[in-house]
Amino acid sequence: MDIAKPYLLFLGDVHDQLAAKTAMGVVDWRPEWCVGQMRLLGCKADTGLPDLTIAEAVAKGARTMVVGVANAGGVLPDHWVSEIVAALEAGLDVATGLHKRLGSFPAIAEAAAKHGRKLHDVRFSDIDFTTGKGTKRSGLRLLTVGTDCSVGKKYTALAIDREMHRQGLSSDFRATGQTGVLISGRGLALDAVVADFISGAAEWISPENDPKHWDIVEGQGSLFHPSFAGVTLGLLHGAQPDAFVVCHEPTRATMRGVKHPLPTIQQVIDRTIIEGQLTNPKIACIGIAINTENLSDEVARTYLKETGEAHGLPCVDPIRTGVEPIVAELIRRFGR
C-alpha cells in the first residue's frame, strides 16, 4: 500500500486523547511525515502539531489526509464525510484504518472518482489467508501482550525493535494494527481478518526466518478483555512467540470500554503462558512495560522498581526510561 506523504492528520471531534492514538502514533514515530492536524469543534485530542485547514495543509505540501482515530467499532461518523469529500476535492488522497471502507460512502466514492484521488483502507487486505497450522517455524519471535487494550503494546514493540537495531541485532517490527501499518509502511490489521484465519494471518506476518532473527510482533487487545480477547488469542497462537512482554497502564480501574476490572500483571503472565504453550511450549515472559504517562517522575521510578522486583523481571517505561534492560534480558536468555 503506497500512501503518499506527507500527511494531514484528521482528528475529527473525538472526545479524548486516547481516541486519537493512530494520529499520536504517527506523530511520535514518523513526525517527518506530518505537516499538521485538522480538528473539528469540540475535539478533545491534540497531537501538538499546527492546526491547519485543508487549504493550508495543501499549501504546505500535504498529499494524504489520514483519519487518525481509533474509536470503538471503528466507525466513521456521518458528519465527517463532508470533510473527507472536501479533502478529495482539494487534491488530497485519504487513508483510514476504520472498519468500514471509504468507498462504501457514496459521496466519498464519487468525489474520489471525479478528482482522481486514492482511497486507502489500511485495515483491509486483498490476501486470502489459510487457517493456522501451529507448525514450528525457524526464527525467533517476541510478542507484546497487555492487561488491557491501548496500554502501549505498539510503542513497546517499536521501541524494542529500534533498540535491537541500535545494538546490531537482526529484527523486524511486525505491525498488526492500522496505526502500526501507517508507521511502518507494511503489515496487516489483524482484527479485520475473518476469525477462522486470524492465527494463519499471524503466521503469515511472522514467517520463517534466519534462526537468530527476531520478529517483534505488535500485540492486540488483551486475553482478559471481553470485547477483543478472540483476536488476542488468535495472534498469540499464530505468532508462536518465544518471548513476550506484558504492557500495563497502572492508573486504570476498569478495562477500556467495559466495566470489567483490569487483571493483574501476574494473571496476564500466567494465562499467556498457558495459552501460548499450545503452539510454543517454551514461551517465556522476559519483561514488563509500564505506561507511566500519568505518573510523576518520582512515583514512576518507584513503581517501575517495585513492579520489577515483585516479578523478578526487567520493568521499564519504553518512552520514559527506554527498553535496554528488556533487550539485555532477551540477549541473556537467547544470545545475540
Domain CATH number, residue 186: 3.40.50.300
| Residue 88 within a domain | yes
Same-domain status, 153 and 265: yes
Give the Cα separation of 245 and 146 in Å (integer). 8
Same domain, 21 and 63: yes
**Domain of residue 38, residue span:** 7-121
Which of residues 121, 152, 180 is at a domain's end? 121
Q: What is the pLDDT of residue 21?
A: 87
Looking at the fold, whether 251 and 313 belong to one and the same domain comes out as yes
- 291 and 155 share one domain: yes
Give the largest CA-CA distance in the chain.
61
Residue written as grid cell 477462522: 196
Class of residue 272 by CB neighbours under 10 A (exposed 0-12, middle 13-18, buried 19+): buried
Do 95 and 244 lie in one domain? The reply is no
Question: Hey, is 162 helix, strand or coil?
Answer: helix
Question: 195 near 234, Cβ under 8 Å?
Answer: yes
DSSP 50: P
The torsion angles phi and psi of 76, rounded to 5 degrees, stand at -105, 110
**Cα 126–Cα 184–Cα 204 angle in degrees, nearest 5:** 45
Amino acid present at 168: G
- Residue 37 and residue 156 in one domain: no
| pLDDT at residue 70, as a whole number | 79
| Structural domain count of the chain | 2
Residue 107 sits in the same domain as residue 174: no
Q: Is residue 128 part of a domain?
A: no
pLDDT of residue 1: 62
Residue 131 within a domain: no
Half-sphere exposure of residue 17, counting CA atoms within 13 Å on the CB side?
A: 8
The helix/strand/coil state of 92 is coil
Domain C-terminal end among 121, 149, 170: 121
Looking at the domain assignment, is residue 129 inside a domain? no
Would you say residue 115 lies in a domain?
yes
Predicted local confidence at residue 12, as pLDDT:
95
Q: Is residue 269 part of a domain?
A: yes
Q: Can you give the CATH number for the domain in which 57 is found?
A: 3.40.50.720
Q: Is residue 135 part of a domain?
A: no
Are 37 and 69 in a shared domain?
yes
In the chain (336 residues long), the average pLDDT of successive 10-residue segments reads 89 92 92 96 96 98 94 82 98 92 96 97 88 96 97 96 97 93 87 94 96 98 96 98 98 93 97 98 98 96 98 97 98 95
Are the C-beta atoms of 44 and 20 separated by less than 8 Å? no
Burial class (CB in 10 A: 0-12, 13-18, 19+), 126: exposed
Give pairs for 273-279: CB < 8 Å, separation 24+.
275/223, 275/233, 275/236, 275/237, 276/236, 276/237, 276/240, 276/241, 276/244, 278/134, 278/237, 279/132, 279/134, 279/237, 279/238, 279/240
Q: Which of 157, 176, 161 is nearest to 235 (CA)?
A: 176
Q: Are residues 245 and 145 both part of a single domain?
A: yes
Q: Are 262 and 253 in contact (CB under 8 A)?
A: yes
Confirm whether 14 is domain-assigned.
yes
pLDDT score at 271: 98
What is the per-residue pLDDT for 241?
98
Task: Please tell me whether residues 237 and 112 are part of one structural domain.
Answer: no
pLDDT for residue 178: 87
The DSSP output letter for 124 is -
Q: Which of the listed residues 89, 121, 153 is the one where a domain comes to its end?
A: 121
- Please report which helix (H) or strand (E) contains residue 31, including its range: none
User: Do 116 and 144 fall into the same domain?
Assistant: no
Shared domain for 160 and 61, answered yes or no, is: no
- Global pTM reads 0.86
